[in-house]
Amino acid sequence: GAVVSQHPSRVICKSGTSVKIECRSLDFQATTMFWYRQFPKQSLMLMATSNEGSKATYEQGVEKDKFLINHASLTLSTLTVTSAHPEDSSFYICSAMDREYIQYFGAGTRLSVL
């Protein structure tokens, strides 16, 4: 199957700092990438849909100024959590969609804000 690389796998940061997470499709071009967050023992929650060359579409209740998404190329999307606070601590997962509309997931980033 296709490979999606997500970095970093774990981040520990102080409250008020910004954190950037990268998501790369390694062996295919992804016009569309997705960002999810997941709290322990809960379902995946879609945060936003990222389309190459255009603005991301955010789900209701997700602050676009808080979670900045950039999809500058067909293989890279980034999520920046700005001014992170402890309540932003979560497991963030990206996925990339191939030409057959199949989503492949990155390994996830575990963010801990102190």
Decide whether 69 or 108 has the Cβ nearer to other proteins: 108
Q: Does residue 8 have a cis bond before it (omega within 30 degrees)? A: yes
**Do β-strands 109-113 and 10-13 pair in parallel, antiparallel, or remain unpaired?**
parallel
Size of interface with other proteins, in residues (CB under 8 A): 20
Candidates 75, 81, 104, 111: give the one binding other proteins (CB under 8 A). 104
- Is there binding between residue 54 and other proteins (CB under 8 A)? no
Report which DSSP code applies to 103. Answer: E
Closer to other proteins at the Cβ: 26 or 44?
44
Residue 13 identity (one-letter amino acid): C
Q: How far apart are the first and last CA of the chain?
A: 37
Q: Which residues bind other proteins (CB under 8 A)?
A: 1, 6, 31-32, 43-44, 46, 49, 51, 91, 93, 97, 101-108
